[in-house]
Structure 1
Amino acid sequence: MADYTIEEKDSFIVLGIGTELKSDYRDYAGINKEKADFWQAVTEDGRLDALKALATNDYIFAVNEAVNNKMMHYAGVMTEETLPETTRVIQFPKGPYLVVKGEAKTSEELSQTLTGIAFGQALGEATDYAYVGGPNTTVEMGQLDGNVYGEMWIPVVKK
């Protein structure tokens, strides 16, 4: 049984730099490699640091969203500001969210673990709620005892 909660959240905006994921949506290894390569690139070229400088908090968002029939993945932060190199302002709706909390040794491992639990177990167990699309995100919230901790937020609707 997955450990999750349903939490009410206000609407919020994430400013993101994104990439289109080309792997088939069932090719988890391919998707994870594309995401890892993307995060390495935005970290090394300074784009992530530029985003973090505008953030209203210390959270780093890894957002997944279908846009114009394309599977998109974004590195983002909560902010009211913009940067020329950003590719999307992502609006998250007010309402209930399925939330899975966890920690891991790396950001990449945290994202993969939380995504696997949320989509592989928790959504199926949350029988009163359904995910009907829209952006979902892994939120890296900080570090504790050498591990990265955070949450997966998936907007849901009551059935």
Structure 2
Amino acid sequence: MAEYKLEEKDGFIVIGLGTDLKSDYTDFAGLSKEKADFWQAVSEDGRLDTLKSIATNDYIFAVNEAVNNKMMHYAGVMAEASSPVPDGARVIQFPKGEYVVVKGEGNTAEELNNMVTAIAFGQVLPEEKNVAYVGAPNATVEMGHRNGQVFGEMWIPVVRK
């Protein structure tokens, strides 16, 4: 089984800029391209820098969430409830409780995201017998750079079975 841990987290908020993913949830290549195009756009047009200016830490969140029967993907930052919300952004509430946490690293943030997502949803959750993911927002958290690699974690809120 993949290396992971179950960790208790306080509730927190992420302020994120989102895109409605159009590819089928089983179309990995299509979803990856949509996400990569979105990240390139928010990085180049300055919207990600605007979010960073209200962040409470240096982490960058790639959030996935089902909203009104749409598969949404967000670029976000952890922020205080009183933080200003930029135009077009949304406050995403992560619940207090237990989380599956999968650590990883990659050559790029996209590689990190793809790797920890595949491990979390392809190995850990199907094999974990004591907890279940019930569909709350989940996130890949880019935490920094080390030895030319991007390192971070996947955070998935779970409930006890």
TM-score, with structure 2 as normaliser: 0.97
Give the equivalent residue in structure 1 for 2:102: 100
Letter in 1 for 2:114: Q
| TM superposition outliers: structure 1 runs of 4+ over 6 Å | none
Write out per-residue CA displacement over residues 31-65 of structure 1, whole angstroms, 9 at most, x where no aligned residue. Answer: 00000000000000000011011110000000000
Q: CA deviation at 1:82?
A: 2.2
1:46 aligns with 2:26: no
Asked whether the 8 Å contact 2:56–2:79 carries over to 1, the reply is yes
1: distance between equivalents of 2:86 and 2:103?
33
Asked whether the 8 Å contact 2:98–2:159 carries over to 1, the reply is yes
User: Alignment partner for residue 84 of structure 1, among 79, 83, 86?
Assistant: 86
RMSD: 0.7
In structure 1, runs of 5+ residues without a counterpart are none
Q: CA deviation at 1:83?
A: 3.2
Asked whether the 8 Å contact 1:62–1:138 carries over to 2, the reply is yes
Asked whether the 8 Å contact 1:138–1:150 carries over to 2, the reply is yes
User: Alignment partner for residue 116 of structure 2, among 114, 118, 123?
Assistant: 114
1: distance between equivalents of 2:87 and 2:38?
15
Alignment of 1:8-157 (within 5 A): 8-80=8-80, 81-157=83-159
TM-score, with structure 1 as normaliser: 0.98
Asked whether the 8 Å contact 1:15–1:82 carries over to 2, the reply is no
In structure 2, runs of 5+ residues without a counterpart are none
For this pair of structures, how many residues does the alignment match?
159
Write out per-residue CA displacement over residues 69-102 of structure 1, whole angstroms, 9 at most, x where no aligned residue. Answer: 0000000001121233242100000000000000
SS of residue in 2 equivalent to 1:15: strand
Asked whether the 8 Å contact 2:16–2:77 carries over to 1, the reply is yes
SS of residue in 2 equivalent to 1:133: coil
